[in-house]
Amino acid sequence: MAPASGLNLLCRNVTTFAADKSFDEGAFRASLQRLVDSGIGVYLASTASGEGHALSKDELRRVYEVAVDVCKGKVPVASNQPEEHTAPGAIAQARIAVDAGVDFVNIYGPAGHHGYRPTDAEFIEFYEDVAKEIDYPIALAPNNSIGYMPSAALIAEVANRVPQVSRINILEAGDTYFINLKERLNRDIPILVSVPGCLELLSLGAGGLLGAQANIIPKTFRRFIDGFEQNDVAKRDLAYTEIVKFIDYIRRWPGGSPRVFKTIMATFKLPGGAGGVRKPYLTPPPAEVERFMEGLLRLHLTEIDELARDAGVPIPA
């Protein structure tokens, strides 16, 4: 395992399936271990990368239990359970994770489906209702993917009212959002950020980094954080450059990170790759996969080349 880091480093990790699309516990343990070996914590059952909405309640419970067994005490292990319309729905989801022994639960605001966007009062009351029933560390995650982006002032208000809030995760929200949020908090709460723009935000006091891309390139994420903390500019900048190039490249397959991650995992024979995705996701056609992987390999990213060599995949010149 990598040396302990002062900055948090977490991945919204994949959920692995067998060929018959059942939950593959053995592959999941091996997939989690890749992250533990790089000192990277996990957010489990994310709606996107973890295909959380495709999991039954029993499967969610088992995902949490296995991850606690593999990760707890070594790296942070948290649930990132699917967002819900109502506080009772969010409470029911959180209880599954709490009972399994995760370190904390990530709770999104009320899902913004069918044009719904909560008022500030509705948003605050949602979290206050959850907090009455979930006396456990909670992470907040303002994120456009739930259908709207709560303001920095609103997130700070929730964090200041709800003592269980132990961290806040923001994705590509920018420096102005980060500064406004940090200034409005009445206690020290770590704010984790995503990769784009993170160099500035880490310098401004961000508490760590989030990146689902660490499912594929965990060592690169570790090198980046280590380089940042060690003030090793060359190490930091090379890793950051390679992460950004990887993120930019995989965006050519928008609308669902599981397609990207499971395709790469299958090509490089990583744990869980053979089982692929669950519906509604579908594995892209072989010709499209071949074009995608050839383009990725032509980037000559350090860890991608290592994975290719280990899997016996030819690397183009």
> 256-290 pLDDT, tens per residue?
789 999 999 999 999 999 999 999 999 999 999 99
The two structure tokens encoding residue 166: 């132990």
109: CATH: 3.20.20.70
> Is residue 27 a part of any domain in this protein?
yes
> Is residue 67 a part of any domain in this protein?
yes
pLDDT of amino acid 47: 87
43-65: average pLDDT: 94
Residue 130 predicted with pLDDT over 70: yes
Q: What is the mean pLDDT of the chain?
A: 94
> Is residue 283 a part of any domain in this protein?
no
At residue 21, φ and ψ (nearest 5 deg) are 75, 10
280 upstream amide cis, omega within 30 of 0 = yes
The total of other beta-carbon atoms located within 10 Å of residue 90's CB is 26
> Is residue 248 a part of any domain in this protein?
no
> Is residue 22 a part of any domain in this protein?
yes
Q: In whole angstroms, what is the distance from residue 12 CA to residue 240 CA?
A: 18
Asked if residues 33 and 254 have their Cβ atoms less than 8 Å apart, the reply is no
The two structure tokens encoding residue 238: 């090379």
Among 253, 176, 181, smallest CA distance to 213 is for 253
Q: In whole angstroms, what is the distance from residue 274 CA to residue 24 CA?
A: 10
Asked if residues 107 and 94 have their Cβ atoms less than 8 Å apart, the reply is yes
pLDDT of amino acid 171: 87
> Is residue 119 a part of any domain in this protein?
yes
Chain segment 84-104, per-residue pLDDT in tens: 999 999 999 999 999 999 999
> Is residue 266 a part of any domain in this protein?
no
Among 166, 182, 186, smallest CA distance to 174 is for 182
Q: In whole angstroms, what is the distance from residue 24 CA to residue 63 CA?
A: 10
Chain segment 150-185, per-residue pLDDT in tens: 999 999 999 999 999 999 999 888 899 999 999 999
Encoded amino acid at 18, one letter: A
Three-state secondary-structure class, residue 103? coil
Range of the domain at 150: 8-235
- As for how many domains the chain has, the answer is 1
> Is residue 310 a part of any domain in this protein?
no
At residue 169, φ and ψ (nearest 5 deg) are -115, 125
